[in-house]
Amino acid sequence: MHDMSHTVHHHAPPTSFIRKHIFSLDHKVIGKQYYGLALVAVLVGMVLSWIMRIHLGWTNYAIPGLHLLSSNGAPGNVMTPEYYLQLMTMHATIMVFFVLTTAPFAAFGNYFLPIQVGAEDMPFPHFNMMSFWVTFVAFLVLVASFFVGDGPTLGGWTQYAPLSAVGAVGGPGEGMGVVLWAASIAIFCVGQLLGSLNFITTTLDMRTRGMSLWRLPLSAWAWFITSCMGLTAFAVLMPACILLILDHVAGTSFFVPSNLVINDQLQPHSGGSTLLWQHLFWFFGHPEVYIAIVPGMGIVSHVLITNMRKPMLSHRVMVYSMGALAVLSYMVYGHHMFVSGMNPVSSLAFSFPTLIITIPSTIIVLIWLGSLYGAKLRINTASLFALGFVSMFISGGVSGFFLAQPSIDIMLHATYFVVGHFHMVMGVAAMFGIFAGTYFWFPKIFGRMMNETLGKVHFWLSFVGTYCIFMPFHYLGMAGNVRRYQAFVIEYMQPLIPVHRFITVAALVTGAAQFIFLYNLIHSRFWGKPATDNPWQATSLEWSTPTTPPPHNNFGDKLPVVYHDPYQYGVESSTGDYLMQASPEQVKTAYDEA
Amino acid sequence: MGKFFAVTIVVIAIASAIPILRHTWWMAPDISTHGAPIDEQMSETMAEAGISFLASQIILALFIWKFSSSRPSDPIKSFPGGAKAMVWAAFLLVGTEVLALGVFGVKAWANVYFAPPAANAMPVQVQAGQFAFYFRYPGPDGTFGPLHPDLISESNANFYGIDVDHDQDSKDDIVTAEMAIPVNREIHLLMHAKDVGHSFFVPELRVQQDFVPGLDLSMHFTATKIGRYEIVCTQLCGLGHYNMKAYLSVMSQEDFDNWLKKQAAMQ
């Protein structure tokens, strides 16, 4: 920990429009830019899911205007089988990388991590700026594949080889589409590596006086743990994508074995391994699940504590549990490969840590539940979404019990059960974390309150709607409904079509409800009720800034000094039932752990 | 609103559990000799996961109901036992669950993957390619002829790349588009991928296994019920993935012998 209480200026406030709003070095602007990118990405991803859902419910239904997106992909506004797969791949890639990774981690983390540790910025502002713009370029490269050659790749976000590596002969989008996909993801990795580096150094080196590691709020801990995962996971995915590109453009065969025959043509490849791709991909892929959800856990804990008016049962147990998730996330990745042809002994070796990872997850849930006991719970949109997150995380978590076991996985692998599981636990739960964070921190970011009534309508439609969409996915999976099918022509799947139609209607309604959020966001940004510096009576440093929104260097001329643990609620202080971290006032507290 | 939220959570939790309890949408009935432990494992996991799910959601709802209406003057209370109780509970409850599921799960998995096929198991080869399965029976000599990928030709109906002119073992091989097997006879399935990754999934047989290009795998099973079932592909293999299927006919030994003779005559 450094003595940072003296005034330090890494960079003066910018004056030009470009430096202020576009190529900004300010972590707060970069955080907002990440949020904006995630917002655009989530809208694209959601519209894609609507188109897919309509197609799955009513396969021959002509969706007005769809041919404008691709005249080949949707002649007469009806999707071709391959175009369904192409849109599915783009939906997943956009959501996983550009929404679930960028919003809870890069957006909120960028804005609030430096403020929560009491710093005026991150240590490498230029790297920080680069990380956003590199991510932006990655998004453009991905979206470009809609308009190049025969469209985006159809291989799914997992891009299993050799389909992804044999080139155009594999099907539409498997040539240039895959190259653009892999290039986009490799570029994305660069952005996340730069970001992770900044997050780690910010947490370790930029803490203000008095801010010991144990005094960091849970949100800051979550971003720190996530950045440690990011640094190792993206460092594996990036070379994997580069090797995949080389298989396309340089005549290598990293992922393609010999003697493959496609369209009666013997392929000019030899010596590669198809399972190598799966190992590299999932070594990244499983930590990625936690990269998406751990920031949500931190944000939700932070929001819940403020609205419960009491700290978690144990700050340290929460931190250790999130840390355990991060460490274990690297040892469980093989559970994606139980039926992949991997050695069956390895399947068992991956099964045990997968079952064991349930223990830290359960501890986290029990701490949330136990902390609710005896709380003075405030119900507002932020806390509703935070509690919704807990409910959704439980629902998505218990289905993990099934998928952790190879013998049951025989029945559920590649079915809608898996789709239901991951949408609930890392999709919807993470989205609820983003919403909780948005409603909670919006007043600090923009100096205005969001509309609570609209917020609650948004919450109710989203909460009930997402259960209506994703719970039936589990039933479909139990009945053997295979995922990644554009139509259900298999006889035993045809009786399941009414369930798909129900899901489609629920998805359209729930999706439409998100426009209430969008309206609320935009309207409140300009016309919302002005916010005070600390509207929720919260304790952490982001609520101690001299102005709202915070000034360019966050804390004005003098960095704050921290005197307390992050969550001094339920105390009797001069301010009420809480004591801010930066307040020198001393009160008796039952919760001093550090 | 807190109380309304609590009720909503309970209603959703119970409504979610009803189709599971009623088996409204459930696994197809098992027709294999190895499936019983898998089904048992599924039921036990469902019971344990179901109880965890309902208990957690109801406790969440209960606490929201009770503590969202606290008055400002109410003192803050701490959960009896504190965090230590939670950590112990997680280790004991989940730890036991993990051990139980893990140990029984190993048994179910070992039944499928660690036991070698019986010496008299009937070999059948299956080749997966975009977007069809083809099956090969070794014929009276009991031996499969070698494969020549360069000879594969859909237009000449040489799906496997068999050279009947030069390979003695290939002369009596029988290639079919439908899979037929005799009931109550162990089958040793030899899996070969022609182009990209595919998978072999027959829910009733309790088998799912990927085809891995460059790596020939095998598995074995015994079907116990005569009938016609669907083999579907579960590994995304390209634009025709959704329609990649074949039929599996489980027949009496007599019907199977006749079927095989008929197929041999058609080669």
Same domain, B247 and B126: yes
The answer to whether the beta carbons of residues A26 and A553 sit under 8 Å apart is: no
- pLDDT band of B107, cuts 50, 70, 90: confident
Q: Could you give the number of structural domains in chain B?
A: 2
Of the residues B47, B80, B113, the one at which a domain ends: B113
Give me the mean pLDDT over the A48-52 stretch: 97
Same domain, B76 and B150: no
Helix (H) or strand (E) holding B18: helix B2-21
CA distance B54 to B109: 28
Q: What single-letter DSSP state applies at residue A479?
A: T
Give me the mean pLDDT over the A295-310 stretch: 97
Residue A332 forms part of a structural domain:
yes
Please tell me the least confidently modeled range out of A494-503, B59-68, B90-99, B210-219. Answer: B90-99
Same domain, B85 and B190: no
The answer to whether the beta carbons of residues A377 and A383 sit under 8 Å apart is: yes
- pLDDT band of B70, cuts 50, 70, 90: confident
Structural domain span for residue B255: 122-265
Q: Could you give the number of structural domains in chain A?
A: 1
User: Inter-chain contact A377–B57, Cβ cutoff 8 Å?
Assistant: no
Residue A590 forms part of a structural domain:
no
User: Inter-chain contact A475–B203, Cβ cutoff 8 Å?
Assistant: no
Only one residue has tokens 């099907």, namely A171
Give me the mean pLDDT over the B135-160 stretch: 93
Distances (CA, A) of B138 to B162, B175, B251: 12, 9, 18
Same domain, B144 and B225: yes
Is residue A152 pLDDT above 50, yes or no? Answer: yes
Is residue A491 pLDDT above 90, yes or no? Answer: yes
Residue range A571-584, pLDDT digits in tens = 888 988 899 999 99
Residue A145 forms part of a structural domain:
yes
Give me the mean pLDDT over the A43-54 stretch: 97
Is residue A234 pLDDT above 90, yes or no? Answer: yes
Residue range A68-126, pLDDT digits in tens = 888 889 999 999 999 999 999 999 999 999 999 999 999 999 999 999 999 999 999 99
Structural domain span for residue A512: 29-257+267-579
Same domain, B78 and B146: no
CA distance A507 to A475: 17
CA distance A402 to A250: 42
- B contacts of A82 (beta carbons < 8 Å): 238-239
* CATH, residue B156: 2.60.40.420
Is residue A34 pLDDT above 60, yes or no? Answer: yes
- pLDDT band of B190, cuts 50, 70, 90: very high
Give me the mean pLDDT over the B155-165 stretch: 91
Residue range B234-245, pLDDT digits in tens = 999 999 999 999
Please tell me the least confidently modeled range out of A41-50, A379-388, B106-115. Answer: B106-115
CB atoms within 10 A of CB B254: 9
User: Inter-chain contact A261–B161, Cβ cutoff 8 Å?
Assistant: yes
User: Inter-chain contact B63–A369, Cβ cutoff 8 Å?
Assistant: yes
The answer to whether the beta carbons of residues A78 and A62 sit under 8 Å apart is: yes
Same domain, B107 and B133: no
How many Cβ contacts (< 8 angstroms) between chains A and B?
312
Same domain, B108 and B151: no
Burial class (CB in 10 A: 0-12, 13-18, 19+), B197: buried
Give me the mean pLDDT over the A28-37 stretch: 97
Residue A23 forms part of a structural domain:
no
pLDDT reported for residue A11:
62
- Amino acid (1-letter code) at residue A513: A
Distances (CA, A) of A466 to A96, A380, A471, A488, A576: 17, 20, 8, 23, 38
CA distance B196 to A378: 55
* CATH, residue A135: 1.20.210.10
Is residue A326 pLDDT above 90, yes or no? Answer: yes
Residue A24 forms part of a structural domain:
no
- B contacts of A301 (beta carbons < 8 Å): none
CA distance A215 to A208: 11
Give me the mean pLDDT over the B91-119 stretch: 84
Residue range B247-260, pLDDT digits in tens = 999 999 999 999 99
Of the residues B113, B130, B151, the one at which a domain ends: B113
- pLDDT band of A3, cuts 50, 70, 90: very low
Residue range A443-468, pLDDT digits in tens = 999 999 999 999 999 999 999 999 99
In sequence order, the 6+-apart residues with CB closer than 8 A to the CB of B47 are: none
Residue range B73-101, pLDDT digits in tens = 778 888 888 888 889 988 998 888 878 87
If you average pLDDT over every residue of chain B, what do you get? 93
Same domain, B143 and B253: yes
Query: How much of chain B, in percent, has pLDDT values that exceed 90?
Result: 79
Of the residues B113, B140, B170, the one at which a domain ends: B113
Tell me the backbone φ, ψ of residue A270, rounded to 5 degrees.
-165, 150
Tell me the backbone φ, ψ of residue B232, rounded to 5 degrees.
-120, 160
Residue A18 forms part of a structural domain:
no
User: Inter-chain contact B60–A362, Cβ cutoff 8 Å?
Assistant: no
Same domain, B26 and B98: yes
- Amino acid (1-letter code) at residue A337: M
Tokens, residue A533: 């510096």
Tokens, residue A512: 């439409």
Give me the mean pLDDT over the A50-66 stretch: 95
Only one residue has tokens 């519209």, namely A47
Is residue B187 pLDDT above 90, yes or no? Answer: yes
Is residue A433 pLDDT above 60, yes or no? Answer: yes
- B contacts of A162 (beta carbons < 8 Å): 195-197, 213
In sequence order, the 6+-apart residues with CB closer than 8 A to the CB of A177 are: A86, A145, A148, A149, A150, A151, A152, A153, A154
- Amino acid (1-letter code) at residue A77: N
In sequence order, the 6+-apart residues with CB closer than 8 A to the CB of B66 are: none
Nearest CA to A330 out of A285, A276, A392, A384 is that of A285
The answer to whether the beta carbons of residues A136 and A37 sit under 8 Å apart is: yes
pLDDT reported for residue B74:
79
Q: What single-letter DSSP state applies at residue A543?
A: G
Same domain, B59 and B168: no
Same domain, B130 and B254: yes
- Select from A365, A406, A480 the Cβ nearest to the Cβ of B28: A480
- Select from B12, B28, B213 the Cβ nearest to the Cβ of A467: B12
Tokens, residue A47: 């519209």
Residue range A327-346, pLDDT digits in tens = 999 999 999 999 999 988 89
- Report pTM: 0.95
Is residue A203 pLDDT above 90, yes or no? Answer: yes
Residue range B19-57, pLDDT digits in tens = 999 999 999 999 999 999 999 999 999 999 999 999 999
CA distance A357 to B97: 12
- Select from A404, A476, A491 the Cβ nearest to the Cβ of B25: A476
The answer to whether the beta carbons of residues A361 and B61 sit under 8 Å apart is: no
The answer to whether the beta carbons of residues A368 and A299 sit under 8 Å apart is: no
Is residue A528 pLDDT above 50, yes or no? Answer: yes
